[in-house]
Amino acid sequence: MKKYRVTIEDVVYQVSVEPIREDAEDAVDPDVQTAAAPIPASRAAASPCPPASGLGVAKAFDHTSASGARPAALPPARPAALPTHPAAPPAPKAASGRKITAPLPGNMWKVKAAENQRVKRGDILFIIEAMKMENEIFAPCDGLMTSVSVTEGAVVSTGDILCEIR
Closest CA to 11 of 75, 86, 107, 106: 75
- Looking at residue 156, its pLDDT comes to 93
- Looking at residue 8, its pLDDT comes to 84
pLDDT single digits (tens) 67-94: 666 655 666 666 666 566 565 555 555 4
- Looking at residue 70, its pLDDT comes to 60
- Looking at residue 40, its pLDDT comes to 54
* CB contact at 8 A, 111 and 149: no
Per-residue pLDDT of the chain (166 residues; tens, 9 = 90+): 788 888 887 888 888 877 776 666 655 556 555 555 555 555 545 555 555 444 444 444 555 555 666 655 666 666 666 566 565 555 555 445 889 999 999 999 999 989 999 999 999 999 999 988 999 999 999 999 999 999 999 999 999 999 999 9
- Looking at residue 163, its pLDDT comes to 93
Closest CA to 108 of 52, 36, 160: 160
- Looking at residue 143, its pLDDT comes to 92
Q: Please name each of the domains of the chain with its CATH number.
A: 1-20+29-71 (no CATH), 98-165 (2.40.50.100)
In terms of Cβ atoms closer than 10 Å to its own Cβ (0-12, 13-18, 19+), residue 48 is: exposed
CA distance 57 to 64: 20
Can you list the alpha helix ranges (DSSP code H) found in 26-163?
41-46
